[in-house]
Amino acid sequence: MSRVFLSTLLSVTMVKHLQAVSNDYIALSALYKDTNGPEWGSKENWMVGTDPCDETNPWYNTGGMTCDGTNITKFDMITNDISGSLPTEFGLLLHVTQVSFADNTLTGSLPTEIGMLERILKADGVNFLSNRLSGQVPTEIGSLTLLQKNLWLAENSLSGSLPTEIGRLTLMTKQLQLESNHLTGLIPTELGLLVAMTASLELQSNSFCGEIPPQVLALDGVTYSANSLGTACPAPAPTAAPTGNPTASPT
């Protein structure tokens, strides 16, 4: 093997490794900044050095993170006094397989970049239970097609219609918790595709209207009380007329 080829191979390998580490660090730095990291309940060794997955770094496998030696694979920040909004950079954690921010005070909307976390597939899956998240559930949630257990979004202030893309999570076997939000509109028929779930589909305490699709009723453990089901859905608000002076017609 020539020295030139070997040098090139090593350079490419190092660049790829540094890029992966850099993505993790960028994501964690943005998270710490945007969610008031200095006030977290547990922040041991956070932001020490620039490589949280370096085994010689005090940051390694502390503060709710788990690494596989190269990349962050698990993020568990339950009940940690985390406030503020999730940064878009959170989507750079491309190797994470479990995310949990339950029982905090996160605000704002779920970033669309959550759909980039396509490797989320095991343990408890995605857990944002009991925060203050608002806005719509992003359609990109349907990109988490490897999710195998739970998606917990209950006890927030999410609003608007539930995206039909959520029906793509067909490998999910445990719970889809959406209760106690402000979700509106029809319950999407696509939820009926989640036939692998054996625990519960929790839709209660929202503002869903119309009829429940029979495909959804056939699922195990469906709960849907405290909605506006059986009533017609409100007509969409009319689009506002354009403002400003109309362009004068040529004479």
Distance, in Å, from the CA atom of 190 to the CA atom of 166, rounded to the nearest integer, reads 7
- Polymer length of the chain: 251
Residue at token pair 């993505």: 23
What residue type is 111 in one-letter code? Answer: P
pLDDT tens track of the chain, all 251 residues?
Answer: 554 433 443 343 344 444 444 788 999 999 999 999 999 998 888 888 888 888 888 888 877 888 888 889 888 999 999 999 999 999 999 899 889 999 999 999 999 999 888 777 665 689 999 999 999 999 999 999 989 889 999 999 999 999 999 999 999 999 999 999 999 999 999 999 999 998 899 999 999 999 999 999 999 899 999 999 999 998 876 766 666 655 545 54
Looking at the domain that runs over 7-229, which CATH code has it been given?
Answer: 3.80.10.10
- Give the sign of the dihedral formed by CA 181, CA 187, CA 193, CA 199: positive
Name the one residue in this structure whose structure tokens are 């190797």. 95
User: Domain residue spans in the chain?
Assistant: 7-229
